[in-house]
Amino acid sequence: MSMVLVPASNTTTARSFAVFLVDAMADALYKLSTRIAEAGQPYEPRTAEELIEWANSYEATQPSYAADLRAAALHAQEIAGGAKYN
């Protein structure tokens, strides 16, 4: 195996490129670790619309729970001032 060494014409450029690569790798590692941490967490709806979607998914098996979810979504929308679901 042969190795070819090419001298950098501008060491500042080479150094800043190395810093860029380290920053990019650190950012990628941070995003990956965040996704891994979030993957183990249970999902919770954040908006009234997401709560309505949850209610629809529970309707067939747990109708009373779905009704409670819809009531909570309606209440949240009334507080926000824009009730969409009656």
pLDDT tens readout for residues 28-48: 999 998 888 878 777 778 888
- Residue 15 sits at φ, ψ, to 5 deg, of -65, -45
Joined tokens for residue 71 = 């009531």
Of 43 and 21, more confident: 21
Residue 5 confidence class, pLDDT cut points 50, 70, 90: low
The C-alpha angle 34, 38, 40, rounded to 5 degrees, equals 130
Per-residue pLDDT at 29: 93
Task: Give mean pLDDT, residues 11-40.
Answer: 86
Per-residue pLDDT at 25: 94
Per-residue pLDDT at 6: 60
